[in-house]
Every structure is written in C-alpha cells, then in structure tokens.
Amino acid sequence: MQNEPNPKQVETPDLNLDNFSHDQDNFILAAVKKFGLFIFEIIKVVLISLAIILPVRMFLVQPFYVEGASMEPNFYDKEYLIIDELSYRFHDPARGEVVVFRNPGNNKQYYIKRVIALPGETVEIINGKVSINGKELEETYIDNLSEQSFSKLTLGQDEYFVLGDNRPVSRDSRAFQALPKKLIIGRVWFRGWPVDRISTFNLPDYK
C-alpha cells in the first residue's frame, strides 16, 4: 500500500524576500523622486514669481490704503489704491494729480493729497478760494470748501503745494507749507477696492 505523504513533509515554495525588498526599495525611491520634483517645481514657481513681482513692487507700483476722510468725496477711508511709482522718474507731477507722499514732519507716515501749485508758482488762499499767480483756480472736484485763508507762498525748485479735497478736515500744505518732490512716492493710478468704485484717474479740467 502506497504511503500517503506526510503533511509535515509537503514542500512549499520559498518566499523570495530578496525580490520583495528590492521592489519595495524601488517604490520608495520613485515616491521620493516624485516628491522631490514636486518640491522643486514649487520652489521654481516661487522664485520666478518673486523675480517678477519684487521689482514691480519695489520700483513700479505699490498698494496703498486710504486712511481718513481728507480726500472725500473722491477717495474714501479703506479704499485700496495702486500707486504708480515710475512716471515721476520721467516727468514732474502735474496740477490736479493725486499723489502719495511721506509726511514732511514724520517720514514713516504717508499722506494722500492733490497737487495744486507747481514749482515757481505763487499760491494764495482767500476764504477757501485758491489762487495761482493771482488767478483763481476752479476746482470742480471739491464738495466741502474751507473758509480758511493762507498767505501768499512762492514755491522753490522741486517744491509743490498740495491740498486735500475735503478741505475742512485735511492736514496739508496749509500746515506744513511746501512739499519737496523727494518726499513724493508716486501718483494714484488705479482704485481696486471697493468693487463698485474700481477706476483709473484722469486730470481734472482746469478752465
């Protein structure tokens, strides 16, 4: 009678641990390479973005938030503006342009005002009415005139006279006199917020 195989003697194929370990290593290595490429792509995008954005931010335009009511009704508190820093490298500020500048009394503080008088001009304010070289300036953008007067002032080279549009509450050249050009950061170019007031800005028409 043929003997039945002893279950304890049944041979089973060996488990190839060498192959399993090798495949696992390949999988981990591929995952690490993929993750490394992903990180590299992120770093590359960030560096390229910085290379584009930083020069623009430092030399061309910068954001600015309006604080206070000194420029109402044309600019309100918390409005988000883009300031053009490039234009004044090629030409001087023009009458009627709205500019952002460093406070002459505190260079860490920024103001937003409108250019009213230019270098070499004589400015005078009588009962709130502005005169340039003896001619009254028609300011159609003003809703709130002040009754304040200001004695004649002749501006020197690279000096400007700036006023807020909301004259009764504005601290401007009536307080700190002439504004040196070197303190001007740039002109207001674009309003990005709020959405219903998005706009660019043109010079007022002085008759």
Q: Which residues are catalytic?
A: 70, 113
Determine the Cα–Cα distance for residues 62 and 119; give it in Å rounded to an integer.
26
Alpha carbon 100 to its chain's center: 11
Determine the Cα–Cα distance for residues 52 and 49; give it in Å rounded to an integer.
5
Residue 125 is encoded by which pair of tokens? 């304010």
To the nearest 5 percent, what fractions of the chain are helix, strand and coil?
Answer: 30, 30, 40
How far from 77 is each of 64, 66, 67, 83, 94, CA to CA, in Å? 11, 5, 5, 16, 24
